[in-house]
Structure 1
Amino acid sequence: MHAANTEADMRLFIAVPLPQVVSEHIQRWSQEIGKQMLFRKWVHPQDYHITVQFLGDVKSKNVDSILSSLQAAVVKQQTIELSLQGAGVFGLSSAPRVLWAGIAGETEKLGKLQQAVTTAMLPLGFKPEDRPYRPHITVARKYKGGSIAAELINTGPEPVSWTTDKLVLFRTHMHSSPMYEILGEVRFGS
């Protein structure tokens, strides 16, 4: 009789982390907009990030392979200059699913990084999404009412620029706040 594999899956994704100053700009804006727009779930400031690839449920034994493949994917990657710019919603403007902060700067380099990551993850069995890559920072989910502050949304957080030089592998802890744990990071060009 064989022992059942009882190892629990971890829900993982690869992302660009944000410096604290960027998270603070988003948090100030979300507190202001939150007075008018009611969402069921506001993202914890420590959880702000730019998703590069969602991996889904993964066994812990595969984490080292993911990190090794990620490191190989970014060995020639140069730093990327990014900035906060604008905001918007996914879903109907009258009942949005997601409120997000926008990204500007070297977004073409970010798109090429995302392609390099998804290519590196393919041999490990992780398929890229079918939809086009739209980098953003999720701020809130599940709209529940209040006035849609279009002017406030479109303005977005106060602009701030930063240089990104790494990717992180996050684990999701559902129903926790903050809910993302860093399992590892890979620095560009190393």
Structure 2
Amino acid sequence: MRLFAATYPPPDALAALATAVAGLRDLPGADRLRWTGEDGWHFTLAFYGEVPDELVPELGERLGRAAHRSRPHTLRLTGGGRFAHRVLWVGAEGDLAVMSRLADSATAAGRRLGLDMEQRAYTPHLTIARGRARHADLAGFAAALADFRTAAWTEGELHLVRSRLPAGGVLGAQPRYETVGSWPLGG
């Protein structure tokens, strides 16, 4: 099954983000972006890809231990950015060092099971759109989010999430996410 570790912003932060994204959809060029669905907004901490069913329980145990060792931390959604012409995102501020250590622990859990894990520095972000064109201009959209900020919240839970990709050829289809396991931070 296709899995990743994540945290989710609370409903009030997601509602504020939905309002900001609605404004972005009115900007020139918005129709050339693939906007992510609100029900899929999350912070990916580690992406595992296809995980054999027999490894899922041990991955869950390892994530439970990682959550127990991590403390709840304060976050807020803030600003916008882009990864070249491919991804438009909203960032985070707050206890990012704690969030980064949790991401490192979630990645290490997969690596210890022999999963092929990416080797790059963690950048906390929540993807809101992807460029459809090879050279989509996302700079204006990121700039429009410069002053965006939500109220702070305390992140207190780690989730193991299954990603079900949409059937090919279905215009506008979004992945479906299903929580496989959740663990409180700090035990």
TM-score by length of 1: 0.84
Verify: 1:56 aligned to 2:56, yes or no.
no
Deviates most, 12-21 or 144-153: 144-153
- Give 1:38 deviation, angstroms: 3.0
Secondary structure at the aligned position of 1:82 is classed as strand
Pick from 105, 113, 120 the counterpart of residue 116 of structure 1: 105
Pick from 15, 20, 28 the counterpart of residue 29 of structure 1: 20
Q: Structure 1 regions of 5+ residues with no counterpart?
A: 1-9
Verify: 1:153 aligned to 2:148, yes or no.
no
Hey, which of these two has a bigger chunk of strand by percent? 1
The answer to whether the Cα contact below 8 Å between 2:70 and 2:98 also exists between their aligned partners in 1 is: no
What is residue 5 of structure 1 aligned with on the other side?
none
Verify: 1:106 aligned to 2:98, yes or no.
no
**Structure 1 runs of 4+ with >4 Å offset:** 143-147
Q: How large is the Cα RMSD of the aligned pairs? A: 2.0
Deviates most, 18-27 or 49-58: 18-27
What is residue 83 of structure 1 aligned with on the other side?
76
- Distance in structure 1 (CA, Å) of the matches to 2:142 and 2:161: 32
Name the % identity: 28
The answer to whether the Cα contact below 8 Å between 1:80 and 1:163 also exists between their aligned partners in 2 is: yes
Verify: 1:71 aligned to 2:64, yes or no.
yes
1:38-93 Cα offsets, whole Å, 9 max, x none, are: 344211111111110000011223221111110111222210100111111111xx
Q: Structure 2 regions of 5+ residues with no counterpart?
A: 167-172
What is residue 162 of structure 2 aligned with on the other side?
171
TM-score by length of 2: 0.85
- Distance in structure 2 (CA, Å) of the matches to 1:79 and 1:85: 19
- Distance in structure 1 (CA, Å) of the matches to 2:14 and 2:55: 30
The answer to whether the Cα contact below 8 Å between 2:159 and 2:181 also exists between their aligned partners in 1 is: yes
Aligned residues: 176
Verify: 1:134 aligned to 2:118, yes or no.
no
Verify: 1:186 aligned to 2:183, yes or no.
yes
- Distance in structure 2 (CA, Å) of the matches to 1:77 and 1:121: 17
- Give 1:178 deviation, angstroms: 5.7
Structure exhibiting the larger radius of gyration computed from Cα positions = 1
Verify: 1:18 aligned to 2:5, yes or no.
no
Partner AA of 1:188 in structure 2: L
The answer to whether the Cα contact below 8 Å between 1:12 and 1:58 also exists between their aligned partners in 2 is: yes
